[in-house]
Amino acid sequence: RDAGQKRARGLDGTLGGDKGDGDMASVTSTVACTAAGTDEPNTRTLQPIVTGTSVVAVKYNGGVMMAADTLGSYGGLARFTEVERICKAGEETLVACDGDYSDWQHIGKIIKELEVEDRCVADNITHTPHQYWSCLTRILYHRRSKMNPLWNSLVIAGYSDDAAFLGTTDKIGTSYEADYVATGLGLHMALPVLRRKWKEGMSEEEARALVEDCMRVLFYRDCRTINRIMFAKVDKHGQKIFEPSPIPTNWSFRSFVDPSGP
């Protein structure tokens, strides 16, 4: 859409002018989604370019298990196959993202600044996982309020004060803590699996198997995945990010062999 055709987007997200609805137009005309409406170059994120797909994470007895594949998609092209979407934050926290990879790199810098801040104050108190989650949520919400979002969903997992922490935020700053989370297409495909199979007090092996099941479903059905999964866990001993590896898959399901069948 070029500069001359910018239209106001109403509070309900629709473009008021489209339907010729008089009432909507009077509401939407006061809410503009673009700056000035002139031919200035765009200085805001309008679309993600290199993207990562879902992240899945579950709490277990004594820690949190997390997984993400290592693909950076360029639209429909599976362009970068060794992208790391999980990183450490401090000594007790893991942060993972989906969405735009360059915005993730920026978030990596923010995390590093928080770590350096801990070092400089040097009072033997470091940011807890909850604090990383809270800070990142505020930053994402702030950016979205300037209509220039960091186009990521983040999963923040940690183990601190003898308790596991798991929280998530998305690019508009919606955040919550939960026992299990998924982002992106995982919301649609992994969450149902997690809702059925997650239980309180799982062991690490059970958690890993459950997360692997979710990643398997996602690999079967999400077009923007590859079978190179990076698992990570955080427990009272600290964070551990495992070397990426493929997970076993089974392609002899009837609906894979003959999708048109009954």
Applying CB under 8 A, which of residues 1, 5, 20, 122 lies at the interface with other proteins? 122
Closer residue to other proteins, CB minimum distance, 79 or 106: 106
Applying CB under 8 A, which of residues 2, 30, 120, 250 lies at the interface with other proteins? 120
Closer residue to other proteins, CB minimum distance, 110 or 191: 110
Catalytic residue, candidates 28, 45, 53, 168: 45
d(CA 104, CA 101): 5
196: CB partners within 8 A, 6+ apart: none
Q: Using CB under 8 A, count the residues that bind other proteins.
A: 6
Burial of 262 (0-12, 13-18, 19+ CB in 10 A): exposed
- CB 243 within 8 Å of CB 78: no
Q: Does position 196 bind other proteins by CB under 8 A?
A: no
Q: Which stretch binds other proteins (CB under 8 A): 5-13, 111-119, 150-158, 202-210?
A: 111-119
Q: Tell me how far, at minimum, the Cβ of 108 lies from other proteins, in Å.
A: 12
Applying CB under 8 A, which of residues 5, 22, 47, 109 lies at the interface with other proteins? 109
Q: Which stretch binds other proteins (CB under 8 A): 28-36, 96-104, 114-122, 244-252?
A: 114-122
Helices vs. strands in the chain: H and E counts, helices first: 6, 13
Applying CB under 8 A, which of residues 46, 116, 147, 172 lies at the interface with other proteins? 116
162: CB partners within 8 A, 6+ apart: 236
How many other C-beta atoms lie within 10 A of the C-beta of residue 88? 17
Q: Tell me how far, at minimum, the Cβ of 48 lies from other proteins, in Å.
A: 23
- CB 163 within 8 Å of CB 105: no
Q: Does position 125 bind other proteins by CB under 8 A?
A: no
Closer residue to other proteins, CB minimum distance, 120 or 257: 120
Burial of 120 (0-12, 13-18, 19+ CB in 10 A): exposed
Q: Does position 119 bind other proteins by CB under 8 A?
A: yes
**126 catalytic, yes or no?**
no
Amino acid at 71: L
Tokens 């940690």 correspond to what residue?
158
**Residues at the interface with other proteins (CB under 8 A):** 109, 113, 116, 119-120, 122
